Structure 1
């Protein structure tokens, strides 16, 4: 019997292109097919090409070219040049690497699933999309050149960014909150995205457009590109924040923010601000309301890029008229995705000599200042606290870009010399350093502490006994 089994096994091994040994419930079975070939393993019989993850994550195969010549259409009179909105989100999005197939769709987060569906839709022929609006091209209305011109003229006439709903209702007399209105909204957004003279400045749930000559946000004192460079450190320390996840947030103004009329797009503020509509969007125009002063003004939200941090600008006038560096403010979302409320806590009259910049002399000075807003004392720059700031000049651009050089100069401006005049050694608390460093450039307390404790900068020392007390010894 054993000899017979051995001979049978050798015969199967010699003819492994015909037979296969399979084990089931402890028994060995000799298997073949009707065609006389070795059967495939069970996992090879699964049709993965039509599974849901592949359908979402992989582009569809290219359609075969027609084998018959299409019938020539009869010429029709065209009263006006018509433009077909064929722009999808890819027209305005940054180039992204190809998606990787995911075997189990349940492993995707909600955001990843949305991006997978959006990427799959963008690959489909005959589909028009913008943001979260998608439809078959045959159902999307067409906009003429005259329609585009009328939209441009209307934005120029109003002198401010307009939502697609306003444009549809005021120009085309189309109600936006209807099935027909949604198709016209998609047609308008997709078409304007393909026009160089239009810029998208909307947010999810409130698409808005402007043109080059219409920008209601005053230009800041410092170039936006330079402000973005100043906030570049946020790219290193900003955790993954979900935009729009909070309703209201608090913030303490720094001197830099108060002077330039900006706010950082850090993890705290990002949680209340709207996300991008598509990956390539660079900015959005928001409206801020101030209940205490009964004013409404436009604010520009600059989204972060690969080498520049994000920020809000357009707040200079409001800050200068109502607040001081160190003021406590709150920013709150409203029911309108583009409208926000900026608030502060009013208090009785206060008068202090606070730090200011004489723009003509390009020197810092202390001026008598009256204010009526609550402040955080650790960020208030008073003459009594930092007297040596008076008469100092702002740092040059090269020095400002070096984190450690700004810290060294700040130690000399606000620190106490516990050494000798010949061999100085400056001592300062973290609160003093945070307030004073943010006169020249923005840096968070976390970033400053990281620099002070880094072995890369031996000129800085940590006090072993007192928390958040640091020393700086100049290297000669």
Structure 2
């Protein structure tokens, strides 16, 4: 154990943190010296390190002048003392006498001749009663080792950064001298000049790439000052692309993997049969019957909060190379780096080897479900011989949060042949015998033995599949049991079968499906006394009621629907 009196090691010191005069100048000099942008957390750590170092120097300077006065210590004539409460004034003990106080145990009173004016002052000594001027006793462990202040400041950042970082972030944001991109900060006056010609070249690079390009790839064709560091070049170009007044560039990267594309790429790049992301996104727009209520809304979340997510493929997933962005996926996948970021380019790899392939994640909007997928993901489903009902497993890697790299796998099974639903775009559904090398969830599969009627029904057109009543009615006709009730025909199905049917031509979250029936949005759709889901065409003209769901229930397929 050692004794110290460094306030900068205490919660009390940091919980009322404010920037001192000159500390923004210190951070400016630091960024110039480093020749690299730094995250606000790194700036906070360096600032905390500076304060600890400065206080330690003051403390050591006091010790060099003499013993630091503490009321609990006993002193003798001739001792040279330093008084921190008096501005580090020094003096020499010239006398000692007994002291008395009715509330205290016996103690001494020392007479001290102060240096400078020679005045004699008296102080308590050998005092057992607690006193504010006594040093704090601290265990000397790895957390508080003053011989490595850089490591110490990292520990302080972990403990007290919550008080420092927000104050520093607010100050940097208000200053015109600093500029940020993706959480990193640099000096505006030291950005490299990115002219219109540079932006035109960047646009050409992205256009030729017909997809996504990394900042490093764009830099290769731009002539940047050779004396400038790569980090400053990257930051300057990223800032210029993000600030382009014409809005020609769309950010689709992560913290360490900054990727860009042209807006048209995220809308038109074909997934299958000339259907691009824009078409798929339109399949994800909620019907007007859904009313999003604000109670319990959590539009954000903590990406990377869990390490593993699994999902059973619907027909829509399998057919389009698509995966849903539900609450489980949100908790695993990287969050947007910017508030207005619409998509991010992820990387997927098979654990047993093989090439890394891309998948584009489209974040959810106010009334639009999120999703992720690519033509390459569809190829993965096909080459691995997967089918609707297969369980896909996504696991985070050490670089997921910063680079967007994830491992994709599935639950394997012995190779077999199954008759599964398939269809060409715009043509009649057919059952085909396909090879399968995965476990198949029977309740989510579309085998001929379960749904042979699918082969006799035509696909829905765009308007029909986006209108909830026609989608549900068609789902019942495809998989439901046809019954005579009273004077008319009704269709009856289990929830599982109806979910499979409604997710053939568009994604339809289970929470939304349950909500429609449980909240009785349409009189023609209801749950009977036996727990079956029922469609009664004769009641289709009744008034429609709104389905009230929270944002997480409607968009992320999460939460309880018991109301």
Q: Same fold (TM over 0.5)?
A: yes
The 1:181/1:316 distance shift into structure 2, 3 A limit, reads: same
1:186 aligns with 2:235: yes
The structure with the larger Rg is: 2
SS in 2 for 1:394: coil
- Offset at residue 379 of structure 1 (A): 0.4
- Measured in 2, the distance between the counterparts of 1:249 and 1:386 equals 29
Name the SS for the 2:514 alignment partner.
helix
Distance 2:260 2:518 in 1: 47
Equivalence for 1:397: 462
Q: Following the alignment from structure 1 to structure 2, what is the Cα–Cα distance between the partners of residues 147 and 399?
A: 47
Q: CA shift at 1:354, angstroms?
A: 0.8
CA contact (8 A) 1:259 1:320 kept: no
Is the counterpart of residue 281 in structure 1 residue 341 in structure 2?
A: yes
Alignment of 1:355-434 (within 5 A): 355-359=421-425, 362-419=427-484, 423-434=488-499
Report the Cα offset of residue 420 of structure 1: 5.6
Alignment partners' CA distance in 1, 2:484 and 2:496: 21
Cα distance in 1, alignment partners of residues 254 and 206 from structure 2: 18
| Correspondence 1:473 to 2:541 | no
- Return the alpha-carbon distance in structure 2 between the equivalents of residues 164 and 113 of structure 1: 31
For the structure 1 residues 313 and 118, does the alpha-carbon distance in structure 2 shift closer, same or farther, using more than 3 Å as the test? farther
Alignment equivalent of 2:417, drawn from 351, 362, 369: 351
Q: 2: distance between equivalents of 1:358 and 1:220?
A: 10
- 2:314 matched residue in structure 1: 254
| Contact preservation (8 Å) 1:204, 1:275 | no
The CA deviation at 1:397 is 2.0
Q: Does 1:125 align with 2:176?
A: yes
Change (3 A) 1:53 1:264: farther
Q: Name the CA shift for 1:225/1:146 in 2 (closer, same or farther; >3 Å).
A: closer
CA contact (8 A) 2:201 2:221 kept: no
How far did 1:463 drift? 3.1
1:447-471: CA deviation from partner (whole Å, max 9, x where unpaired): 11111222332222323344xx222
Distance between the aligned counterparts of 1:113 and 1:316, measured in 2?
A: 47
- SS state of the match for residue 474, structure 2? helix
Shift of 1:398: 2.0
Deviation at 1:159, TM superposition (A): 6.9
CA displacement, residues 328-367 of structure 1 (integer Å, 9 cap, x when unaligned) = 011122233222221112210122211111436x111111
- The equivalent residue for 1:318 is 380
Q: Distance in 2 between matches of 1:394 and 1:455?
A: 27
Q: For residues 404 and 453 of structure 1, do their structure 2 counterparts lie closer, same or farther at Cα, with a shift above 3 Å needed?
A: farther
| Structure 2 CA distance for partners of 1:112 and 1:407, relative to 1, 3 Å | farther
Selected match of 1:208 from 253, 259, 265: 259
Cα distance change of structure 1 residues 460 and 273 upon mapping to structure 2, 3 Å threshold: same
Any stretches of 5+ residues in structure 1 without a counterpart?
A: 1-50, 56-109
Q: Structure 2 vs 1, CA of residues 432 and 359 (structure 1 numbering), >3 Å: closer, same or farther? A: same
Task: Name 1:267's counterpart in structure 2.
Answer: 327
